[in-house]
């Protein structure tokens, strides 16, 4: 635990990616194979499920610290992070010589759900007693379930690539899917897989950056495939040895969530991997993302929900064909195979081809992108015809070009303190628009979009202009106006304003506007009507 | 004996205010930080070592009555004396006694000796007015004896990797504590003007600290491998440019929380405070043997409730003027 905590601290102490990679490489060099596997799993966010209830954890910490519940709650509110608050209130233990192996700790935590509450308490309190302050924090963080190491997957891949002397793309591939460190060895994970034993494993997704240069700089439009950018779930559909696996980009295995795709196990040839967008689809066009969300959230899929949100995969790439990894082949080659596959008369109706748009010049692309919402998409994807299928987010060959967000001006009415880096600062805001009666009704919550400097300035203002406090929330004088950007808007019975926004965030602080110049509920309803008519 | 008024803590019998924030005729000032020592008082009463700091900050023409620790003056029957608070050089607790009743106003204090200021001494009293800057159990600081070696090691490591080291610490108090504990063999020590000014004022009363003032003439090459002490306000200012390449750390009790450090965007946070932590506050309250405690400056509500419910004291929270900015610890 000590060495792993050092790694955590080293990563936490720097913002420079080169130093983060160096810290990981040095950890890998110091560690045995098993510790390496467990650490890598944690670094890429593959952690054990939460072994105990948060309320139990709090109760045990309060007992061990010998303080009343309310004082712990006060402290927790100030710290903003449960694991950190617990590590800090426990009796100091600065010079602990005790150390534990990371794999042993994780294995013990993984075994906790089967044990009695009394045993759980004993195990965890015992660790707390014997770990030093920093190790206590990391240990408790592993339990509270929001453990994040502050490194991107790409950096972990880079470090492993240096450590193993293996190409980054190969490392990235081996790390895909939800593997369990206890069931792996370095060899099973990183050596060339034997036939059949890693059938489930998806390829790393190739991700595009938002276009940040002019279209003209991309050169001849004939060198590019241009597709609609759909607003579904990016997924990979795998058929190997008669079995189907559907992975989301977030590396969740969602096969069971999509019964529509089940027949593909029999109809697609073995050794087929398709990359595409999983999206609810009816009458030749996509349904809104909300429909998808409701469906994904369902524990049990009823016949009704299957009918309300019938899913398809709009396929845009073929990564494996007849068992062969064809990601290095140019896109036009892959695309031809994909088109052939999908034009087969036995094609399953749940598989659609992502059409390429027949634009003849960049100006047409720009016009289309501006009106993208009218065409049920959120912009365009630009993919170079001769590009290989890369790994991770790369610049150059694939670009996304999203349409401008919708916006509305709202008045700040509530603020709540944030967590982690933003603990103790009012950073979570609620914005309101005016209704017909001249009352402000909340319509959006947003956490991001301001600079650190603006956050501090607004925080000071909030503290001085608080009207009322409700626990961690303060209501403030309606004064400041912010331009809120969002990707979609829908009528909603659950919100006071009658609308629900998708991805709201702060676009800018409109210091030039007074509160009464903010938008109205009527404006928003009009916006919805206009979109539905399109 | 004391009242908490709009202008500050007031003793009607002696007609004196303690650390008032609005101009009054007679002010007892516990120490030289700007949220305690303010401009515009008719007369200042403070410890001898606080006097040069007041003159530096408030002007050389102010009327000051200097007092030694433990020496008693009487004002309309109230016996007033100052006692070491261990916060910064010259910092004092104010003891007031009238007809057998004793009150102590702590000012800011810490119990751990910093090697520079006169160490804190507990003063028995009936009523204790205590600060509570770090009055929550999450604020239990590491021993400074463990922090200073950490600072020195970090400096040496930075120097060996080709970086200068910048320590952000409040100019009056913490800067001197740090300067006293640096490992001089590691490299040269430089000072921001604000720190150098305080050091010059303290030289007048016999203190000597390492470090050379950075001026427009200072050669950048001379800064190679150096440690520079600057006030927190230097963070993000163009003044820092001259010091690059550097790594920067903030020295403050607030650095106890990870979020606070990350928000400031510094490379390191050293937990080093001139205020007492949770343990010290509790220790100090117990040592006064006071049965009534007034809690100000900080986490008044939880600390007062804790003293009431868990320590059986008559503890009250007192909200003095807006204390959202406390100078001593940022």
Which residues of B fall within a CB distance of 8 Å from A15?
Answer: 265
Please check whether residues A129 and A215 belong to one and the same domain: no
Distance from CA of A503 to the nearest CA of B (A): 24
Query: What does DSSP assign to residue A221?
Result: G
Please check whether residues A483 and A517 belong to one and the same domain: yes
Instruction: Tell me which residues of chain B have a pLDDT lower than 50.
Output: 322-330
Please check whether residues A363 and A450 belong to one and the same domain: no
Please check whether residues A394 and A253 belong to one and the same domain: yes
Does residue B245 have a cis bond before it (omega within 30 degrees)? yes
Please check whether residues A440 and A527 belong to one and the same domain: yes
pLDDT of residue A530: 78
Q: Which of A402, A429, A455 is the last residue of a domain?
A: A402
Q: From CA A430, how far away is CA B173, in angstroms rounded?
A: 41
Which residues of B fall within a CB distance of 8 Å from A420?
Answer: 258-259, 262
Distance from CA of A55 to the nearest CA of B (A): 19
Domain with CATH 3.40.50.10710 in chain B: 144-270
Q: How many CB pairs under 8 A join A and B?
A: 72
Residue B259 has its nearest CB partner, among A14, A71, A80, at: A80
Do B140 and A421 lie within an 8 Å CB cutoff?
no
Please give the distance of CA B30 from its chain centroid, rounded to a whole number: 10
Query: What does DSSP assign to residue B201?
Result: H
Place of tokens 């060339």: A192
In a domain, A176, yes or no: no
**3 state SS of A2:** helix
Q: Is the torsion defined by CA of B25, B29, B32, B37 positive or negative? A: negative
- Most A CBs within 10 A among B133, B134, B138, hence the mutation to make, goes to B138
**Is the minimum CB–CB distance between B220 and chain A shorter than 8 Å?**
no
**Is the minimum CB–CB distance between A79 and chain B shorter than 8 Å?**
yes
Which residues of A fall within a CB distance of 8 Å from B306?
Answer: 68, 71
In a domain, A190, yes or no: no
**Is the minimum CB–CB distance between B268 and chain A shorter than 8 Å?**
yes
pLDDT of residue A445: 92
User: Which chain A residue shows the shortest CA-CA distance from B143?
Assistant: A94
Q: From CA A295, how far away is CA B319, in angstroms rounded?
A: 52
Please check whether residues A391 and A345 belong to one and the same domain: yes
pLDDT of residue A421: 54
Range of the domain at A411: 406-533
- Most B CBs within 10 A among A16, A73, A74, A84, hence the mutation to make, goes to A74
Please check whether residues A356 and A424 belong to one and the same domain: no
In a domain, A163, yes or no: no
Stretch (H or E) spanning A429: strand A426-434
Distance from CA of A107 to the nearest CA of B (A): 28
Domain with CATH 3.60.15.10 in chain B: 3-139+275-317
Please check whether residues A368 and A261 belong to one and the same domain: yes
pLDDT of residue A317: 97
**Is the minimum CB–CB distance between A134 and chain B shorter than 8 Å?**
no
User: Which chain B residue shows the shortest CA-CA distance from A451?
Assistant: B263
CATH of the domain at A460: 2.40.50.140
Distance from CA of A86 to the nearest CA of B (A): 8
User: Does domain B3-139+275-317 fall into CATH 3.40.50.920?
Assistant: no
Give contacts of B 96-155 with A, CB under 8 A: 136-140, 142-143, 146
pLDDT of residue A419: 63
Q: Which residues pair with B98 in a beta bridge?
A: B101
Residue A84 has its nearest CB partner, among B136, B258, B309, at: B258
Burial class (CB in 10 A: 0-12, 13-18, 19+), B324: exposed
Number of compact structural domains in chain A: 3
CATH of the domain at A8: 1.10.3260.10
pLDDT of residue A84: 93
Specify the pTM: 0.77
**Is the minimum CB–CB distance between B258 and chain A shorter than 8 Å?**
yes
Which residues of B fall within a CB distance of 8 Å from A95?
Answer: none
Do A70 and B265 lie within an 8 Å CB cutoff?
no
Q: pLDDT tens string for chain A (534 positions)? A: 899 999 999 998 887 889 999 999 999 999 999 999 999 999 988 877 888 998 999 999 999 999 999 999 999 988 888 999 999 999 887 666 778 999 999 999 999 989 999 999 999 999 999 998 889 999 999 998 667 788 888 899 999 999 999 988 888 888 888 788 988 888 888 887 666 677 888 999 999 999 988 998 999 999 999 999 998 999 999 999 999 999 988 777 888 888 999 999 999 999 999 999 999 999 888 987 778 878 877 777 788 888 888 999 999 999 999 999 999 999 999 999 999 999 988 888 999 999 999 999 999 999 999 999 888 899 999 999 999 999 888 888 999 999 988 899 999 999 987 765 555 688 899 999 999 999 999 999 998 788 888 988 999 899 889 888 877 788 999 999 999 999 888 888 878 788 989 889 999 999 989 999 999 999 999 888 877 765
pLDDT of residue B321: 62
pLDDT of residue B195: 96
In a domain, A352, yes or no: yes
**Is the minimum CB–CB distance between A12 and chain B shorter than 8 Å?**
yes
- Most A CBs within 10 A among B257, B282, B301, hence the mutation to make, goes to B257
Q: What is the CATH number of domain B144-270?
A: 3.40.50.10710
pLDDT of residue A469: 80
Place of tokens 């504590």: B177
pLDDT of residue A250: 79
In a domain, A193, yes or no: no
In a domain, A56, yes or no: yes
Do B258 and A12 lie within an 8 Å CB cutoff?
yes
Please check whether residues A262 and A134 belong to one and the same domain: no
Residue A424 has its nearest CB partner, among B260, B265, B305, at: B260
Q: Which of A337, A369, A402 is the last residue of a domain?
A: A402
pLDDT of residue B43: 96
Please check whether residues A385 and A487 belong to one and the same domain: no
Place of tokens 């999450």: B138
Residue B171 · residue B271 · CB < 8 Å: no
Residue A409 · residue A510 · CB < 8 Å: yes
Query: What does DSSP assign to residue B13?
Result: T
Encode pLDDT of B52-111 as tens digits: 999 999 999 999 999 999 999 999 999 999 999 999 999 999 999 999 999 999 999 999
Please check whether residues A211 and A117 belong to one and the same domain: no
User: Which chain A residue shows the shortest CA-CA distance from B247?
Assistant: A14
In a domain, A271, yes or no: yes
Q: From CA B120, how far away is CA A170, in angstroms rounded?
A: 63
Do B258 and A81 lie within an 8 Å CB cutoff?
yes
In a domain, A183, yes or no: no
Which residues of A fall within a CB distance of 8 Å from B299?
Answer: 74
Please check whether residues A245 and A232 belong to one and the same domain: yes
Q: From CA A440, how far away is CA A481, in angstroms rounded?
A: 12
Residue A349, both tokens: 């109706």
Q: Which of A402, A433, A468 is the last residue of a domain?
A: A402
């Amino acid at each position: 635990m000590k060495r792993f905590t050092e790694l955590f601290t080293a990563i936490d102490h720097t913002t420079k990616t080169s130093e983060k990679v160096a810290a990981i490489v040095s950890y890998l060099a110091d560690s045995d194979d098993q510790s390496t596997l467990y650490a890598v799993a944690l670094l890429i966010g593959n952690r054990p499920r939460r072994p105990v209830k948060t309320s139990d954890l709090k109760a045990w910490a309060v007992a061990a610290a010998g303080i009343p519940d309310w004082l712990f709650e006060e402290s927790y509110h100030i710290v903003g992070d449960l694991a950190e608050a617990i590590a800090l209130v426990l009796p100091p233990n600065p010079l602990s010589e005790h150390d534990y192996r990371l794999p042993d700790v994780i294995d013990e935590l993984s075994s906790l759900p089967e044990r009695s509450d009394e045993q759980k308490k004993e195990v965890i309190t015992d660790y707390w007693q014997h770990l030093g302050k920093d190790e206590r924090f990391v240990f408790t963080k592993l339990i509270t379930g929001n453990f994040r190491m502050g490194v991107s997957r790409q950096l972990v891949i880079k470090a492993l690539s240096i450590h193993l002397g293996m190409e980054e793309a190969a490392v990235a591939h081996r790390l895909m899917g939800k593997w369990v460190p206890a069931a792996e060895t370095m060899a099973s994970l990183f050596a060339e897989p034997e036939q059949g034993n890693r059938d489930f494993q998806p390829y790393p997704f190739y991700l595009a950056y938002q276009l940040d240069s002019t279209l003209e700089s991309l050169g001849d439009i004939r060198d590019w495939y241009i597709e609609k950018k759909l607003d579904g779930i990016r997924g990979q559909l795998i058929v190997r040895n008669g079995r189907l696996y559907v992975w989301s980009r977030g590396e969740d295995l969602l096969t069971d969530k999509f019964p529509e795709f089940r027949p593909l196990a029999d109809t697609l040839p073995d050794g087929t991997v398709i990359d595409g967008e999983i999206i609810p689809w009816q009458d030749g066009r996509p349904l809104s993302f909300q429909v998808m969300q409701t469906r994904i959230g369902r524990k049990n899929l009823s016949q009704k929900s299957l009918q309300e949100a019938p899913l398809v995969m709009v396929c845009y790439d073929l990564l494996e064909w007849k068992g062969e990894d064809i990601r290095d082949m140019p896109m036009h080659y892959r695309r031809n195979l994909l088109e052939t596959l999908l034009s087969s008369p036995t094609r399953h109706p749940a598989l659609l081809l992502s059409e390429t748009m027949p634009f003849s010049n960049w100006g047409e692309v720009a016009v289309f992108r501006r009106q993208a919402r009218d065409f049920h998409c959120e912009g365009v994807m630009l993919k170079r015809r001769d590009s290989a299928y890369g790994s991770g987010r790369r610049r150059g060959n694939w670009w996304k070009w999203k349409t401008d967000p919708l916006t509305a001006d709202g008045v700040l009415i509530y603020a709540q303190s944030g967590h982690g880096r933003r603990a103790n600062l009012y950073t979570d805001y609620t914005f309101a628009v005016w209704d017909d009666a001249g009352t402000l009704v909340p319509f959006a919550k947003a956490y991001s979009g301001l600079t650190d400097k603006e956050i501090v300035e607004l925080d000071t203002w909030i503290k001085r202009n608080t009207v009322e406090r409700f626990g961690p929330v303060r209501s403030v004088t309606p004064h400041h106006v912010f331009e809120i950007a969002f990707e979609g808007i829908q009528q909603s019975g659950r919100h006071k304003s009658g609308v629900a926004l998708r991805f709201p965030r702060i676009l800018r602080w409109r210091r030039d506007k007074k509160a009464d110049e903010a938008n109205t509920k009527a404006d928003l309803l009009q916006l919805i009507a206009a979109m539905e008519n399109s | 004996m004391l009242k908490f008024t709009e202008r500050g803590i007031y003793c009607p019998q002696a007609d004196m205010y303690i650390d008032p924030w609005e101009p009054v005729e007679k002010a007892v000032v516990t120490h030289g930080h700007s949220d305690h020592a303010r401009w515009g008082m008719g007369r200042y009463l403070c410890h001898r070592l606080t006097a040069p700091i007041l003159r530096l900050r408030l002007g050389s023409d102010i009327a000051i009555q200097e007092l030694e620790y433990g020496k008693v003056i009487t004002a309309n029957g109230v016996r007033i004396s100052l006692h070491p608070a261990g916060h910064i050089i010259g910092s004092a607790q104010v003891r007031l006694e009238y007809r057998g009743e004793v009150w102590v106003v702590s000012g800011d204090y810490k119990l751990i000796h910093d090697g520079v200021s006169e160490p804190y001494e507990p003063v028995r009293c009936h009523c204790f007015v205590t600060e509570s800057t770090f009055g929550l159990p999450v604020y239990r600081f590491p021993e400074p004896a463990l922090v200073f070696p950490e600072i020195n090691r970090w400096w040496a490591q930075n120097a060996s990797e080709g970086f200068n080291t910048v320590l952000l610490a409040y100019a009056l108090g913490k800067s001197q504590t740090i300067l006293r504990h640096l490992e001089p063999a590691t490299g040269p020590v430089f000072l921001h003007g604000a720190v150098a000014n305080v050091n010059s004022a303290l030289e007048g009363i016999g203190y000597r600290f390492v470090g050379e003032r950075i001026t427009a003439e200072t050669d950048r090459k001379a800064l190679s491998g150096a440690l520079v002490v600057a006030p927190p306000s230097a963070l993000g200012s163009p003044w820092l440019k001259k010091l690059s390449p550097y790594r920067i750390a903030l020295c403050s009790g607030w650095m106890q929380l990870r979020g606070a450090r990350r928000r400031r965007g510094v490379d390191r946070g050293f937990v080093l405070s001139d205020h007492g932590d949770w343990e010290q506050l509790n220790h100090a309250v117990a040592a006064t043997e006071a049965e009534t405690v007034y809690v100000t400056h900080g986490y008044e509500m939880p600390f007062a409730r804790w003293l009431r419910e868990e320590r059986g004291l008559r503890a009250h929270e007192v909200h003095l003027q807006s204390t959202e900015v406390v100078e001593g610890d940022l």
